[in-house]
A and B are shown apart, each in its own frame.
Chain A
Amino acid sequence: MLDKNGIAKRIAQEIKDGYYVNLGIGIPTLVANFIPDGIQVVLQSENGLLGMGPFPYEGEEDADLINAGKQTITMAPGAAVFDSAMSFGMIRAQKVDLTILGAMEVSEYGDIANWKIPGKLVKGMGGAMDLVASAKNIVVAMQQVNKAGESKLLPRCTLPLTGVRCIRKVVTEMAVFEVDSENGGFRLLERAPGVSVEEIRKATAGRFIASGDIPEMRL
């Protein structure tokens, strides 16, 4: 089983040289730590920045420079600042190559739910609905099962949806899946080290597809 950093490390392998990447809050944020050396990526922050850099050194925090998680950040050389409409304009126009975000549930058709639990306090969707509706390449970072041991990879989402048929790839603590949004199903691509296909099958409530030898992730 992978921990959160392991999931982030595996997802970092999806990043290719020259990509513009939007990282969501939570596990996706950790992905930045594992971007392989020698790969040039530009991180987009939807509050209006391309070229997000590391956290500032102590004493160099700037209240006017934050990311979408409202954390103080810096700008990388070549960064560009713009307004919120342009920020979502470039997302809607599919200029961002890769979007990585978290999820509460994903369905076998690639529907995603990650913004609202009825009866509990609702904080809002932020930019998630815009991102999932437009991004051409979305990787979801999530836990395969919830705290009660129930699978979060479902035939249908039970929570209010964030987007419909938009998720193509899911990385969990157990596995990497490709979502078959045409026919419905989670196609197993890779196993986490030491996790068997059978264990993954048991933790997948939606239609499970595994054919041939399933390789272990290389981390």
Chain B
Amino acid sequence: MINKVVNDVQEAIAGITDGMTLMLGGFGLCGIPENCIKEIVRQGISGLTCISNNAGVDDFGIGLMLQKHQVKKMIASYVGENAEFERQLLSGELEVELIPQGTLATRCLAAGYGMPAIFTPAGVGTEVADGKEVRNFGGRDYVMEMAFEADFAIVKAWKGDTAGNLIYRKTARNFNPVMAMAGKMTIAEVEELVVVGELDPDHIHTPGIYVHRIFQGQGYEKRIEQRTIRKREGINLAKAVDYAG
């Protein structure tokens, strides 16, 4: 098996330079590549185009990159919860392209599957479809959306092996598998790095062929954006507190 392991986060992000396009896995702050983001911030790489579902919060995730004005353009589906983001957007410092979440995921998928474009009904008849080809199949309209091209995809997994095989945990999976497939160069940071043979082949979510560099991250903060809980004596309470919805 080819060894994809790099020694540390510096080595992992080597080659990421000003002006590149990056994909960053995660949904909100869940399953984001914390180590790589911090290192990109430390090195001050700038003029970046970031493809990610969200833009972090003020002081965590991609929000850290925004604070240091490293992001030129953000491609995302939802960008709330970030005051610095709003400020830069309104002042014109930051370019933003908002796209439907399923379109975002599927444009990653197309890249990873070697397909140039997809047709989706999402956005037909709205400003999202402006200037794009719309084609009718079976009486319904679909807008053509292009596969993403990203210089680097940076993903976070739960476990990985030295051959780059990845397993994600719970909803921290989200965009990570499709972004891992979509990068010209894919970096995976994992909570636990194991030797080849330790992961059950049947349990692998991302085959190592898609992963170029892997390392075990450190000091995961795994911040929670909306801490919602129910009371232990909840049995007699209205179901209102019982369901996350």
> What residues of chain A have their CB less than 8 Å away from a CB belonging to chain B?
5, 23, 28-34, 43, 45-49, 52-58, 60-75, 81-85, 87-89, 91-92, 111, 121-130, 133-134, 160-164
Contacts and interface: CB of A to CB of B under 8 A. Distances in A.
Given A58-B232, A64-B171, A33 B240 contact: yes
A64 B222 contact: yes
Nearest to A57: B232
Contacts of A128: 100
Nearest to A133: B121
Contacts of A75: 170
Given A64-B31, A124-B79, A126-B77, A47 B174 contact: yes
A49 B228 CA distance: 17
B169 A64 contact: yes
B15 interface: no
Most buried by B among A61, A129, A163: A129
B100 A130 contact: yes
Nearest to B142: A133
Contacts of A66: 27-28, 30, 171, 224-226
A47 B172 CA distance: 9
Nearest to A121: B86
Contacts of B90: 121
A34 B192 CA distance: 41
Given A33-B239, A64-B222, A129 B28 contact: no
Contacts of A72: 224, 226-229, 244
Contacts of A68: 27
Most buried by B among A84, A88, A134: A84
Given A47-B27, A61-B227, A81-B171, A123 B78 contact: yes
Contacts of B122: 92, 129-130, 133-134
Given A53-B244, A66-B226, A133-B121, A88 B176 contact: no
B170 A65 contact: yes
Query: Top 6 nearest A-B pairs by Cβ distance?
Result: A88-B102, A29-B245, A130-B102, A164-B125, A32-B243, A63-B222
Given A58-B229, A83-B173, A124-B79, 4 more contacts: A72-B228, A87-B105, A129-B103, A129-B128
A49 B171 contact: yes
Contact of B124 (A54, A64, A67, A164): A164
19 contacts: A43-B245, A47-B28, A48-B171, A56-B229, A56-B230, A57-B230, A57-B232, A61-B228, A63-B172, A64-B170, A66-B28, A66-B225, A67-B171, A73-B244, A74-B244, A81-B170, A123-B78, A129-B102, A133-B122
B106 interface: yes
A71 B227 CA distance: 6
B174 A48 contact: yes
A33 B225 contact: no
B76 interface: yes
B14 interface: no
B68 interface: no
A125 B77 contact: yes
B245 to A, nearest CB: 3
A52 B78 CA distance: 21
A157 to B, nearest CB: 10
B165 interface: no
A127 B229 CA distance: 25
Interface string B229-240: 111101000111
B79 A83 contact: no
